[in-house]
Structure 1
């Protein structure tokens, strides 16, 4: 993986940089959801025959995947967006595309707002928190950070394993920093409670949202009213990259072509 030192203490953000120099598309930065990692979620998506093969950076956020996990790190959505902003500027990108899944959509939206370079296309995949996610994050933040780190994190892993059906999520979740999970959980709840759709509507970029094809007409309409093109992916639930990687690859490619 590619390393990027993010501070004067030598902490490192790591990412895959794929298809460099093979496309006219601006680089697409993948921002994963809470407890996930781009290094595990998206290789099958960008490897699909349906994918556009534009330059793709599969980023493991700080505290997740292969990136560093300092115990005294800052892992709120604002802090993660700031790290990615510095990364994009440090890489001397002149323009980028952004993809954010689930709670990662909040980071992608904040990054799009604060970047000093052009964001051509913003793609949000199953953005925000559903009822299940809200309940889980509320349970996490019902305790203190110290309590979650010492016991809550291991208890949550045991609960997820016992519940079944979480295999795709358990891998990256189990190696994530409990400090990162807790801090991001708290900020994601705050982000979800804000009227972030207004920020999305005001953003002056090409905007797309990817949803399961079971999405209701009301869900679709609220994103269309925010100026987004909506792509639906069949046979998926929240973890689209695992449920239907080819369908997600096609949806991403279709949205990138809107600004081609």
Structure 2
């Protein structure tokens, strides 16, 4: 993986840089959701025959996947967006395309606002928190940080394992920093409670949203009213990258092509 130092303490953000070309063409930057890792979620997507080969940066956010996990790190959405902004500005890309899933959509939206002149297309995949997500993150943040780190994180992993159906998610979740999970959980609840759809509507870049085809007409309409092209993926729910990677690959490619 490609390392990038985000600060003077040499904390390292790591990412897969795939399908590179000599030209600095606009890459697609994958920003994963809470408890996930792009190095785990998106290889099946970008390796799908339905994916149009383009430069793709599969970033493991700080505290997740293969990136560093300092106990005193900052893991809220603003800090994560700042680290990604530093990375992308260091590469001097004339344009970048951004993809953000679930709670990662809040980070992608912040990043697109910061880099409005450089952002080509912003793609949000199942953006925001589901009712299940709100309940889980509220349970996490009902504890103190110390309680969650010392016992709550292990209890949550055991709960996810016993409930079944979380096998793919459990991999990256189990190696995430409990500090990062806790801080990002609190930040995501705050982000979700804010009028973020208004921020999306006000953003003057090309915008798209990918949803499961089980999405309600009301949910689809709210994104269309915010100026987004909406693409639907069949045979998937919230975790589209796990449930239908080929369908997600096709949707991304169509939106960018």
TM-score, normalised with respect to structure 2: 0.98
Equivalences for 1:1-260 in 2 at 5 Å? 1-21=1-21, 26-115=26-115, 117-257=117-257
How many Å separate the matches in 1 of 2:20 and 2:185?
33
Distance 1:26 1:33, change over 3 A: same
The Cα of 1:22 is off from its aligned counterpart by: 7.9
Runs of 4+ in 1 over 2 A off after TM superposition: 22-25
- Deviation readout 1:151-172 (Å, 9 max, x if unpaired): 1000000000000000011000
Distance 1:107 1:180, change over 3 A: same
Contact persistence 1:29–1:56 (CA under 8 A): yes
- Deviation readout 1:122-164 (Å, 9 max, x if unpaired): 0000000010000000000001111100110000000000000
- Deviation readout 1:79-138 (Å, 9 max, x if unpaired): 000000011001111210000000000000000111264101000000000100000000
How many Å separate the matches in 2 of 1:23 and 1:126?
31
How many Å separate the matches in 2 of 1:130 and 1:24?
37
SS at match of 1:65: coil
Contact persistence 1:99–1:123 (CA under 8 A): yes
How many residues are matched? 257
The Cα of 1:21 is off from its aligned counterpart by: 1.3
Stretch of structure 1 that moved more, 114-123 or 216-225: 114-123
The Cα of 1:25 is off from its aligned counterpart by: 5.5
SS at match of 2:97: strand
Contact persistence 1:93–1:117 (CA under 8 A): no
Distance 1:59 1:158, change over 3 A: same
Contact persistence 2:106–2:128 (CA under 8 A): yes
Structure 2, gaps ≥5 residues long: none
- Deviation readout 1:33-85 (Å, 9 max, x if unpaired): 00000000000000011101110000000000000000000000000000000
TM-score, normalised with respect to structure 1: 0.97
How many Å separate the matches in 2 of 1:24 and 1:74?
30
SS at match of 2:146: helix
